[in-house]
Amino acid sequence: MKKRSSRAVSAQILLQVLDEGKSLSSLIPEASVQLDSQDLPLVQEITFGVCRVLPRLERIIQQFLEKPLKGKTRLVHCLLLVGLYQLLYMRVPTHAAVDEVVNATKSLKLEHFRGLTNGVLRRFLREQEAILAIVDKHWQTLHPEWFVNKLKQAYPHWREIIEANNQRPPMWLRINPQRTERADYAGLLGERAKYPENSTACIPPCALLLAKPLPVSQLPHFEQGWATVQDAHAQWSALLLGAENGESVLDACAAPGGKTTHILELAPQAEVIALDIEENRLKRVTENLHRLGQQAKVICGDATQPETWLPEGVMFDKILLDAPCSATGVIRRHPDIKWLRQATDIAELVALQGKILHALWQRLKPNGVLLYATCSVLPEENSEQITRFLQAMPDALAGEMDFCGEKVSQKQFFPSAEGGDGFFYAKLVKRANEETR
């Protein structure tokens, strides 16, 4: 197959994100077959970067065009986004950035827009200072208005959340205690590691921050299961669940398997079921289990209907429900979420979360623990969801969790520069039968 221009592929990916509602996480792997291997990181940088600062780039384009590019010309608009992002945020030489984008019009069969593309980018270079003075006159959230309004209503520090979302995400590792110690693994990484003991933040005991992101191929003994890429705040899931050897454990909505493998690192003899509704995503769970030398029963099924994949009467000691959510806590990691998620999605997600929560609760043993988790920062999906559940279920109690000495039944994490992503946790304990009589 003839390989394609990285700028052309980037523009096509952006068009599918912005106009068709597809995610970068699905589009990037699909596009990789069209690219030379060395071009894939460039496409990732451009597409993720454009999504991160999209409103700013859109405002720049508005300064040059009397009418917006619509319909079939939307691909030209996306090509301009690619060019402007390179000029503003990347170290690509100016002439190369412009020439490569202009040349991409040919492979996209947009040659009659070659002059417009060239003209806009070169005019921006000539008038950059004046244009940016207009565009950047007021502070930009770089987020959709509906989401900003929700943050304003919920949190006095909403600006800090916005600013954190606009940064590049840090890369965290979870060190496998079955293989090595965190201090020893940090020693293998040398200056590439930022050792957490230097931080005052409450960090999970096996979490290790890298000085800058690295390909997993450069991580010592990665294929032998010594480390897993997992956000620091996500690492609390298995720790708070507290599964023990011999217990039956359900990891609901398990893909891609980071939490499943962590449960088994802490309790290697636990009987774990990893459940997810998407069969293609379960392949990642199986791959991660194989890399770490672990065993779990992997099931494709609907968490709202346990009876379709679980025999009658089968109950669990522990259930981890990492519920489907708005993913508003991981925007810095997946900036396309800002433009894919709509305000109307939230009520539907809240209803689905509640349905799953009630369905799985029926499969939890008396005195069992259900840990509810989301990567959202919206109260509707988090604290309000748990309040409604506790009011509706007489056999549900708020359990206690320990975060570095802080005893709480719920915990909302927010993204921070060298910290974890936005996550929410709530521990629920099921009363024994005699207690409900």
User: How confident is the model over 257-300, as pLDDT tens digits?
Assistant: 999 999 999 999 999 999 999 999 999 999 999 999 999 999 99
C-beta separation of 176 from 205 below 8 A: no
Beta carbons within 8 Å of 408's beta carbon, 6+ residues apart: 400, 401
- Contact between 264 and 247 (Cβ < 8 Å): no
Q: What is the pLDDT of residue 436?
A: 45
Distance CA(369)–CA(426), nearest Å, equals 10
Residue 315: closest CA among 376, 252, 250, 258: 250
Catalytic residue among 78, 206, 325, 375: 375
Tens of pLDDT, residue by residue over 385-409, are: 999 999 999 999 999 999 989 999 9
* pLDDT recorded at residue 175: 98
Q: List pLDDT tens digits, range 15-46.
A: 999 999 999 999 999 998 888 888 999 999 99
Residue 36 has a pLDDT of 86
CA distance 241 to 80: 48
Q: Is 77 helix (H, G, I), strand (E, B) or coil?
A: helix
Q: Tens of pLDDT along 195-240?
A: 766 566 789 999 999 999 999 999 999 999 999 999 999 999 999 9
Encoded tokens for 104: 């991409």
| Average pLDDT of the chain to the nearest whole number | 95
Residue 98: what pLDDT? 96
Question: How many other C-beta atoms are found inside a 10 Å radius of the C-beta of residue 188?
Answer: 14
At 300 the pLDDT is 98
Could you report the per-residue pLDDT of 118-140, keeping only the tens digit for each?
999 999 999 999 999 999 999 99
Where are any strands of DSSP class E within 284-423?
Answer: 297-300, 316-322, 364-374, 396-398, 401-403, 406-408, 410-412
Residues 6+ apart with CB under 8 A from 401: 240, 407, 408, 409, 411, 425, 427
Contact between 334 and 24 under an 8 Å Cβ cutoff? The reply is yes
Q: Residue 212, exposed/middle/buried by CB under 10 A (0-12, 13-18, 19+)?
A: exposed
Using one digit for the tens of pLDDT, what is the confidence trace for 177-191? 999 999 999 999 999
Residue-level pLDDT at 2: 67
Position 4 scores a pLDDT of: 85
pLDDT tens-digit map of 86-107: 999 999 999 999 999 999 999 9
CB-CB contact of 338 with 330 (8 Å): no
pLDDT level of residue 58 (50, 70, 90 thresholds): very high
206 annotated active-site: no
Q: Give mean pLDDT, residues 37-61.
A: 96
pLDDT at 33: 87
Closest CA to 135 of 242, 29, 41, 63: 63
Within 8 A by CB and 6+ apart from 69, the residues are: 76, 77
pLDDT at 433: 72
Model confidence at 437: pLDDT above 60: no
**Phi–psi pair at 424, nearest 5 degrees:** -125, 140
Question: Strand 248-252 and strand 364-374: pairing?
Answer: unpaired
Give tens-digit pLDDT for 319-352. 999 999 999 999 999 999 999 999 999 999 999 9
Sign of the torsion angle spanned by Cα atoms 299, 301, 303, 305: negative
Q: What token pair was written down for 119? A: 């003209």
Joined together, the tokens standing for residue 198 give: 């230097």
